[in-house]
Structure formats: C-alpha cells, structure tokens
Structure 1
Amino acid sequence: MTNPLQAFMDVRRGEWPLALSMFCYFFLVISSFWILKPLKKGLFIQYYDDRGFTFLGTVFNAAQAELLAKVLNMVVAFIAVVVFSALSRQLRREKLSFVFTGFFVACYVLFVQLLHQPGPGTVWSFYLFGDLFSTLMVATFFAFLNDSVRPDTAKRLYGLVGLGGVAGGVFGTTVLRLNIERFSNGEWLWVCTGFALLILIAAAYASRYVQVEIEPSAPDPEQGSANPATEGALLVMRSPYLLSIVAIVGLYEVISTMVDFQFTSTIAHYLSGPEIGAQFALVFSITNWVSLFVQLFLTGLVMSRFGVGIALIVLPCAIALGSSAFLLFPVLWVGSLLNTADNAFSYSINQSAKEALYVPTSQAEKYRAKAFIDMFVQRFAKAIAVVVSLGLTLMFSDFESLRYLSVITLVLLAVWLWAATYAGRRFAEYERAETAQAPAP
C-alpha cells in the first residue's frame, strides 16, 4: 500500500467529486442539526425547569416534560413518512433535497420572528421543528447517497462521507459553544438559513457524479395503488433483512432515549439556570470531537478491512461500558459522558455502517421502506422508551433511582448485538453476490 491514508480513506480518482460534494452536503446538514439541538433542548429545559409542566393533573419536571415532547414527535414523524413517501414516488436524489431544504428555509424565517418572546406554543413547536429537521434532512441525504453508489463503493466512500457529518457536528457545536451568549436564537437561525442555501448547491453538484443512473421503467401498478402511509411498512414486513435493520434502529432508539433521559436528568439535578445550556453545549462539543476521531481513524479502516458487520457492533459495546459506569457512579460527569458513549459512535461508525446496509436494496426500499424505518419506527421506539423512563421515575422520585434504567439498557443491548450480527452477515452475502456477477476487468 503506497499511500498510508488509504487504510483509513480508500477513495479512487473518479469517485472524489461525488464523495466531496456529499461530504459537504452532510457537513452542512449536521452543522445545522447540532446548532438547532442545543438551542431547542436548552430553551425547552430552561422554560420548564422552574415552573414545571402540568398534564392531566400531574406535574412533570423539565426532563419528564421533554419525554412527553418525544411522544408527540411520533405523530409528527408519521406525517413526515406520508409526505416523504408520496414525494419520493415522483422526486429522487437532488430534487427531493431541493423540496425539503426549501421548506426548512421558510421555517427558519418564521421562527426568527417567533423566538423573540417565546411562549409555550413556540417552545413546543421549536422543539418539534428541531427533531423534524434531523428526521427529514438526514433521511433525504442518505436516500440520495444510497441511491447513487454500489455496495463495494459504499464500504470505501461512507467513511469519508460520514466524516462530513462528524466534522459538521464538531463545527456546529464548537461554534455554538464559543458564541452561544453572543447571538440570539433568531440570529443562529439565520446562520442555518445560510447553510441551507449551500446545501442546495452541494446537492446540485453531487447529482452530476452519481454512479448509478436512474433507469426509466414501466409504471408499477402496485405503486400506484399503494397507500403512502403503509407502503414502507409492507416492504419491511416482507424482508427479514429489513426487519433486522428495524431491530437495530428500534433498539437503538429505545436505549438512546433512556440514556439521554439519564443524561438530561443528571444535568438538571446538579446544575441550574444558564449553567444547564452551557453544560449541554460543552458535552455536545466533547462528543463531536470524539466522534471526529472515530470517523477519521476507525470507520473507514474497520468497514473496509473487517466489514460492515464488525462496524455495527462498536456502538452497542460503547453504550454498554457507559451504562455500566453510570449504574455504579451516577455523578455529573459520568452522566454527562453517557451522551459521548452514545452519540460519539452513533454519528460516526454506526451511522456509516447502518446506512451502508440499504445500498443493496431496491429503489422502493431505499426510499419508502427506509423512510418508514428512519422516521416512524425511530419515533415509535422513542415512545416506548418514554413509557419505560416515565414509569420508573414516577415510581421512584429520587435521582438515585435513575441508575437502574441502565439494567434495562444492558439487557436490550444483547438483542441489538444479535440483530447487528445478522444484518452484517446478510450484507456480506449481497456484496459477494454482486462481485461474482460483475464482469471481469
């Protein structure tokens, strides 16, 4: 191997334009996400930290109120699935990106006005908007990417493309942390608007270098009669391979929601006032720097040399270590670093490996089944985690009881590891089959 960087980033000459434009696209999406996330989370927690939230005669603290917001996110996600599925029948790749990016630009302009004096309606809608952005824009990006490359290419390119997202996370959280008190929430939304305009440029450029051309096909009678609300679910139910992806995504969301609740409750327990937002920004920054290291030095190496299956088990192992530590030592920084054990590996090696699983699937599965999994299944799993988390915290009101959520986490991790192993093995089979069918050079 003449180039030592090839061990971490094996991109061939003709693949650079697509890889770099997708790198920029993902960088901008995730930069925006990590600016929006601390803003919407900090606004929500600070608003209800002192006054609490009353629902059906029960008073919830700020962290519990956020769990209720995640349940409401499931309704928003269902609507997003229907809209995404319907549009993806007519629009693909950069065209779908143009539509959703334009929608979020309009939302940014609206919230710039609303956030001057936020009331309960603005606080809740801005929280839901932040999750909707990540739900739709990340799904749109990966539908574009997965529809543009081959399985053998995905193993090599997704490390670099995923690095764009991780670098965007580092950039977004670092810039926000250093300037969080200098600019208002509305001014940060103007920054996100600028990023959105650059996303349009990156998507248009990437569309010129796709590896898989869109082939005209005869109308599919089943597609014409399929309900956009159920088409993705039906595709998933017919495929054991897609069901294994459902298990990976669903179990991750259940576990991640419980871990995030422990993380949020720890900060709310030990800190107050502006210290809450500052701690969120600091922890998110640390998380994304670790994620950058993992994506730069581990993702490409593990995926290209050891395969997608091995890459898929890194995240559950990291969460197992963090949850075990919190079970034993539920203190501020152990609770804070639960976020790092989760998101540092989720947004790097796990996301690259998980998204590569969709490359061998059909066009309908890439768009409609994936939308169902990434939007509805993801939010439904969060709702299950909300029930578990709220049930425990309502039974045991003291902070110390939160450590026992880690026991449930460790049990679910064992099932997740089984599903990841199965999906990785099936991906390897698809890859070998395609290699065998490829013409000899």
Structure 2
Amino acid sequence: MRHPFQKAFNIRRHEIVPVFLAVFYFFCVLTALMVLRPAREALGMQGGIDAVRWLFVGTAVITLAVNPVFGWLVSHLPRRLFITATYLFFSFTLLVFYSLMTLTPKVIGVTTGQVFYVWFSVFNLFVTMVFWALMADRFSFDQGKRFFGLIAVGGTLGAIFGPWLAGRLAEPLGTPALLLVSAGFLVLALIAAWVLTGLQPHNPAERKDPEDPPAVDEHERIGGSAWEGFRAVFKSRYLMGIAAYVVILAIMATFIYFTRLHMVAAMEDSTDLRTTLFARNDLITQVATLVMQALVAGHLMKRLGVSLTLALLPLTAALGFIGLAIVGSFAALVVLEASFRAVQRALMRPARETLFTVTTREEKYKAKAFIDTFVYRAGDVVGAQTEGLLARLGMGLAAIATVAVPLALVWAGLALWLGKSQRQKAIAASPMIQGTRGEPRHDIP
C-alpha cells in the first residue's frame, strides 16, 4: 500500500528524498533571487523607461559573452565542479556589491543601479538554468512529467519567502545586508545540489526502478567545445523549436513588463513606493502560482501531456491581452500578470524542462544554457524594442494586443509541435537514448 502522500503527488518511496532535496534546492535559489528583485526593479527605473529598454540590450550582450565561459566550464570540469564554480562566482559578486554599498555608499547612483540591474538579470538566468539543467540530467523523462511540477513548488515558496524576508530584514539590518542573505541561500542551494547528485545509484544493479536515471560518474567531464551549445541549437530542429518557444515567451513577458512599468510610473514617483508596488504585485503572482501548483500541477502534465500543457500559456496570454485592451486598468494588468506568471511557473516551466530530458547531457547543459540565457534575453530585446516603437507611435494597449494575440496563436502551434516531437524522440530512442558522448541510457521506459 502506498502512503496517501505518495498517491497525492504520484511519487514512489525511493524517490521521496531526491525530490525533496530538489524542492529545497529550488527554494534556496528563488529565495536568493527574490530577496533582491524588488530593489532591482526600482533601481532600473531611475534612468527612465527608455533606459530600461537599453539595459535589456546590455543584458543580452553580457549573456552572450558569458555563454562560452560557462561552456568551457562544462567541457573541462565534472558536473559538480562546474555547478560549484557557477554558484560560488555569483556569491562572490554579491559580496563585491555588498562591499561597494557599505564602503563607498556615495558611488551608488543611477549608473550603479543600472549595472546592478544588468548583473541581476544575468544572475537570475544562470542560477535557475543550472538548477533545471541538473533536474533534466538527474531525473528521467517519466519522472520529470510526474514531479517537475512538485519541484517547482519549492521555487514558488522561495519566491514568496524571499520578499517577506527582505521586508523583515531590510530595516533592522539595512538593504546591503540582503546581498549577504542572498549569498547565504546560494551556498545552501549548492550544498543541496551536491547531496542530490550524490544520491544517484553507482551501478545499474542499485537502481530501484527501470524509470530511474542511469548512474553518472561525478568525475567524468562532458567534454566538447565551449561553443558547442550554440552550434547544437542551429543543427537541431528540435532545439530550434525550443529556442523559438522561448523567444515568444520572452516577448510576451516583456510586453507585460513594460506595460506594468508605464502604469507604475504614471501612479508613483517615489522609488520606495514603486518598490512597494512591485513587491505587492510579485506577492499576488506567487500566491496565485502556489494555489495552481497545489491544486492542479501535480497531475495535469501526466494527464494532458506536454503538448497541451505547453499550449496553456499561449492561450492565457491571448485571452489576457484581449481583456487588458478592453478594460485598460491596473487591476486588469495585475490579473493578466498574475495568471500569466502562475501558468508559466506552475505548468509551462516544468513542462518545458521535460523537453530536455530526451536530449544528450551536452545539450542539457550547453545548448540549454544558450537558450535559457542569450536566446531568452534576445527575445527580451525584441519585445522591448517592439513595445518602444508602438509607444513612440502613440499606440496604446490595443496595438500591443494586436501584435500579441496572433503571436500567441503561433506560439500555441509551436507548443503542440514540440510535444509531438518529444514523444517521437522518446519512442525512437526506446529502450535507450544516447547520453553525453554516445553511451546508451536506459531512462526511457
């Protein structure tokens, strides 16, 4: 007999410990990010909304420059070590910003705020990308469908806990101390990653279930070129499809983001009040996400499949932009953003990450890094410049909806194609798919 908890979350007994380590890991990652996010939004607006559009361009350029460095780490270091190097690097930069804010507070201004904005945007993408790449490498295709949604709950709890913790600590300790708090949670995330990878079976005989992932030698290097992720995306229709899906996702999110900036800028001039509005909006979004994850995410992907789950977000975006164009109020924007982010984080993100469970280990880390960082930020740039052009032409929410709704329909079609392609790749590779450098893997039942 299975425990009610196991039945509720569709999880087997021997999977409980690694899954909850993954939940704790994601909790720490999102807490580290969300402790700092409201301040980033307020600091970025100090130079005006037009400046934020150019900060998106700067972020895309930096992510492109960092990708070959990360690719080199993946090629030359074992999995645990390149994950460690990535997290410790960002922890170190947090300490650098803390030192600047405490030792030379007079240098903090518009330019410094913009530097922090770009750095945070890169930090945000890379630490979450590394997390999900490890999840796609650590868990099998079937396991991903069963409990990537549950793992995402950890991130949502961290995204709620982070702003709450920032509110509790900012006044007694000062804003700079939040950087140390964020660094501390990154270290906890790294510890969880080490323990999680150490729970893998070391030989096939130790596997308790044929759906378990294969053993991975933690001293083995993935190898290949530092630019292999870039080349892999353009050589594979499947990876190109994922990249296109991510570009449209970024464009839609950017349309919502700049609409919010315009409305908040029209409502408040104070940086503190803007920060409060951003934090309140984030809280509403995270609560909506948590409710959705608790009620439907655990079984939806298993029952509907990856295709329909991926298509839910385009449908949400199309309906939301139509409603925003008709109503045109800040309350309507809050509803759109909360529903969009809730579906994105509770349903779409876990489904999208399962797309990488049928790829090679090199693609999981290198191609995924390129897609989740540079390709995503390139989509941000396209969305920001398109929104800026519409704003300069004096067009309002109706014009944005005119662009967003047809794009959402294309996005939905792409979602259905990706789900179908994933199933075909899984079936074609059964009972094995190719691993890092061509070795057989038996994680597809």
Name the TM-score, length of structure 2 as normaliser: 0.87
Q: Contact conserved, 1:34 with 1:173, CA < 8 A, in 2?
A: yes
Unmatched segments (≥5 aa) in structure 1: 49-61
* 1:157 match: 147
Query: CA, structure 1 residues 138+332, in 2 after alignment: closer, same or farther (shift >3 Å)?
Result: same
For residues 185 and 350 of structure 1, what CA distance do their matches in structure 2 show? 33
Per-residue Cα deviation, 1:364-408 (whole angstroms, up to 9, x for no partner): 211111111111111111111122011111221xxx724421221
Residue 142 of structure 1 is matched in structure 2 by: 132
1:105 and 2:91 aligned? yes
Distance 1:22 1:208 in 2: 12
1:195 equivalenced with 2:185 (yes/no) = yes
CA distance in 2, matches of 1:439, 1:336: 41
2:284 to 276, 283, 286: 286
Deviation at residue 294 of structure 1 after TM alignment: 1.6
Paired position in structure 2 for 1:43: 43
Write the distance in 1 (CA, Å) between the matches of 2:159 and 2:231.
Answer: 34
The answer as to 2:407 corresponding to 1:409 is no
Question: One-letter code of the match for 1:122?
Answer: T
Is the alpha carbon distance of 1:93 and 1:346 closer, same or farther for their aligned partners in structure 2, counting shifts above 3 Å? Answer: farther
Q: Is residue 262 from structure 1 mapped to residue 243 from structure 2 by the alignment?
A: no
181-190 vs 76-85, which moves further: 181-190
Residue from 224, 231, 235 that aligns with 2:232:
235
Residue in 2 aligned with 1:346? 344
Matches within 5 A, 1:3-152: 5=5, 9-45=9-45, 47-48=46-47, 62-115=48-101, 116-117=105-106, 118-152=108-142
Change (3 A) 1:96 1:170: same
- Cα deviation code 1:285-306 (max 9, x no counterpart): 0100111112222222111222
Matched, 1:324 2:322: yes
Give the letter for the 1:232 counterpart.
G
Residue identity opposite 1:109 in structure 2? L
Q: Is the 8 A contact 2:43 2:114 kept in 1?
A: no
Contact 2:141 2:443 in 1 (8 A): no
Comparing 77-86 and 116-125, the one that deviates more: 116-125
Provide the residue aligned with 2:387 in structure 1: 389
Equivalent AA in structure 2 for residue 214 of structure 1: V
Q: Verify: 1:246 aligned to 2:257, yes or no.
A: no
Instruction: Tell me how large the CA RMSD over aligned residues is.
Output: 2.5
Cα separation, 1, equivalents of 2:9 and 2:384: 39
Q: CA deviation at 1:363?
A: 1.4
| Cα contact 2:431–2:444 (8 A) shared by 1 | no
| SS of equivalent to 1:144 | helix
Distance across 2 between alignment mates of 1:291 and 1:440: 30
Corresponding residue for residue 420 of structure 1: 415
TM-aligned CA deviation for residue 77 of structure 1: 0.7
Question: 1:110: how far off?
Answer: 1.2
From the superposition, tell whether residues 253 and 218 of structure 1 become closer, same or farther in structure 2 (CA, over 3 Å): closer
Q: Give the residue type in structure 2 aligned to 1:111.
A: F
When residues 440 and 39 of structure 1 are mapped into structure 2, their CA distance, relative to the original with a 3 A threshold, is closer
Letter in 1 for 2:280: L
8 Å CA contact 1:232–1:372 kept in 2: the answer is yes
Show CA shifts across 1:135-165 (max 9, x none): 1111111121111121111111212211111
Q: Quick one: distance in 2 between partners of 1:86 and 1:180? A: 38
Letter in 2 for 1:35: V
Q: TM-score, normalised by structure 1?
A: 0.88
AA aligned opposite 1:37: R
Aligned partner of 1:413: which letter? Answer: A
CA contact (8 A) 1:147 1:212 kept: no
- What is aligned with 1:53? none
Question: SS where residue 358 of structure 1 aligns?
Answer: helix
- Corresponding letter in the other structure for 1:424: G
Structure 1 pair 217–272 and aligned structure 2 pair: CA distance change class (3 A):
closer
SS of the equivalent of 2:214 reads: coil
In the TM superposition, residue 40 of structure 1 has moved relative to its aligned partner by: 0.8
**Corresponding letter in the other structure for 1:253:** A
In structure 2, C-alpha distance between the alignment counterparts of 1:130 and 1:316, rounded to whole Å:
27
Separation (CA, whole Å) in 1 of partners of 2:427 and 2:303: 15
Hey, what's the Cα distance between the residues in 2 that align with 1:315 and 1:366? 23
Counterpart-to-counterpart distance in 1, 2:80 and 2:220:
22
Instruction: Give distance in 1, aligned partners of 2:344 and 2:79.
Output: 24
For the 8 Å contact 1:93–1:147, the answer to whether it is kept is no
**Contact persistence 2:255–2:384 (CA under 8 A):** yes
**How big is the shift at 1:12?**
1.0
Give the share of equivalent positions with the same residue, in percent.
Answer: 26
Structure 1 residues 161 and 105, CA, compared in 2 at 3 Å: closer, same or farther? same
* One-letter amino acid matched to 2:162: G
Deviation at 1:271, TM superposition (A): 2.4
Deviates more, 1:101-110 or 1:337-346: 337-346
